Amino acid sequence: MIAVVKSSATTEQLDHFVKWIEDRGFRTNVSQGDNETLVGIIGDTTRIDPFILESMDLVERVQRVSEPFKLANRKFHPEDTVVDCGHGVLVGGGNFQVIAGPCSVEGENLIGIARAVKAAGATMLRGGAFKPRTSPYSYQGMGEKGLDLLMEAGGELDMPVVTEVMDPRDVELFVSRGVDVMQVGARNAQNFPLLRELGRTQTPVLLKRGMSQTIDELVMSAEYVMSEGNANVMLCERGIRTFETRTRNTFDVNALPVLRHLTHLPVVADPSHSTGYTRYVRAAAYAATAAGADALEIEVHDCPSQAWSDGAQALTPEQFGDAMRRIALIRDAVTAPIEEA
């Protein structure tokens, strides 16, 4: 349920109203926009009479929200959320960023890749120190040593670091190392203990869509994080599993505008995992940019044929540089104001 507060209401009246609601066992989420203030009422709202709220002097109107997700819902928070990823990098609300780097941290070649992607225009560095792999015999990542290399590269280049966390027990390690953005991979998109643990931090979370998740299920995963107090969540479309076998996954470009309509959270696209093949990555990145993505996450490796994981979908630094120039052109085209004839 949402109560729209009159613009004439004072801060004291709003505080009193919020306390009145919370004293009755509900949680609240206050969103103050340029033209109106919304008070989201969270809980079993069948126990509250909307006519009582509407009879209050400061309440303009009351409306129920049918979707099960509340905190992530744009109805509760009409304005775009802007996530501060550190180092002056903002995502959402018109701020567009590109996250780039290798699938997994392999060693000293990381800094060279990081320098190359930054030179091409990337603003955030990605790399996996802990890797979730389908086979237990595949490369599992460098672990803490990989985290140290990532943080060293990010510090040298003044770039936020994005890296995947898989285990609730590792969250404190990532926080203590100063990781800027903790990524939740597709396999952990419904690992609810992990999502809750991430919600107890204030570190930004890049939440990838599960391989077979619906859009609503993805948003509900974000709700798990936000319900614990961490509102710094970014949603990532990374392709879903369908009957098609010509690509690694099927890039659901529809999800980008749908998510922007349903939620106020930044929406990110991962064209690398969506397609699985270098030859398709750039086209998918262009489509995501045109569809309104707030950020892209792209895998880049200095020698993809020698990569320890996912080399088949990595761009070379030269290919990435070409892609960045074209992405900038598309971004300019879709955000430029159109003059009326």
CATH value at residue 39 = 3.30.70.1140
Same domain, yes or no: 218 and 324: yes
Q: Tokens 């996912």 correspond to what residue?
A: 310
Residues 285 and 180 in one domain: yes
Check whether residue 91 and residue 33 sit in a common domain: no
Of 180 and 7, the one with more pLDDT: 180
Q: Do 204 and 241 belong together in one domain?
A: yes
Q: Residue 100: is its pLDDT beyond 90?
A: yes
Q: Note the pLDDT tens digit of each residue in 121-176.
A: 999 999 999 977 777 777 777 899 999 999 999 999 999 999 999 999 999 999 99
Radius of gyration for the chain, computed over Cα atoms and rounded to the nearest angstrom: 21
Does position 46 have pLDDT exceeding 90, yes or no? no
Label the pairing between strands 205-208 and 37-42. unpaired
Same domain, 206 and 308: yes
Does any domain span residue 341?
Answer: no
Judge contact between 317 and 299, C-beta under 8 A. Answer: no
What is the band of 88 on the pLDDT scale with cuts at 50, 70, 90?
very high
- Is residue 74 situated within a structural domain? no
Domain of 40? 2-63
| Number of compact structural domains in the chain | 2
Contact 121, 89 (CB under 8 A): no
Q: Give the pLDDT of residue 63.
A: 86
CB atoms within 10 A of CB 247: 16
Identify any residues that bridge with 300 across adjacent strands, giving them in sequence order. Answer: 315
Question: Does a structural domain hold residue 127?
Answer: yes
Based on the domain organization, do 160 and 241 belong to the same domain? yes
pLDDT at 218 over 70: yes
Entry field: residues in the chain: 341
pLDDT tens-digit series, residues 285-321: 999 999 999 999 999 999 999 999 889 999 999 999 9
Q: Tell whether 119 and 231 lie within a shared domain.
A: yes
> What is the mean pLDDT of the segment spanning 211-215?
96
Do residues 147 and 245 both lie within one domain? yes
In a domain, 100, yes or no: yes
Do 31 and 107 belong together in one domain? Answer: no
pLDDT at 247 over 70: yes
Spatial contact of 57 and 79, defined as CB atoms under 8 Å apart: no
For residues 309 and 110, is the Cβ–Cβ distance under 8 A?
no
Average pLDDT over all residues of the chain: 94
Q: Once rounded to an integer, what is the mean pLDDT over residues 33-41?
A: 84
Residue type, 306: Q
Q: What is the CATH number of the domain that holds 109?
A: 3.20.20.70
Q: Are residues 20 and 145 in the same domain?
A: no
Q: In this structure, what token pair is assigned to residue 131? A: 């890797």
Shared domain check, 87 and 45: no
* Residue 55 and residue 168 in one domain: no
Other residues' Cβ atoms within 10 Å of the Cβ of residue 8: 9
The alpha helices in the chain, defined as continuous H runs, are 11-22, 50-54, 109-120, 144-157, 171-177, 192-199, 215-227, 255-262, 271-275, 278-290, 317-335
Which pLDDT score is estimated for 43? Answer: 84
Q: Identify whether 256 is part of a domain.
A: yes
Query: Strand 181-184 relative to strand 124-126: parallel, antiparallel, unpaired?
Result: unpaired
Give residue 341's pLDDT.
64
Residue 246 resides in a domain: yes
Amino acid in position 290: A
Question: Is 76 inside any structural domain?
Answer: no
Is residue 316 a part of any domain in this protein? yes
Q: What is the mean pLDDT of the segment spanning 116-120? A: 98
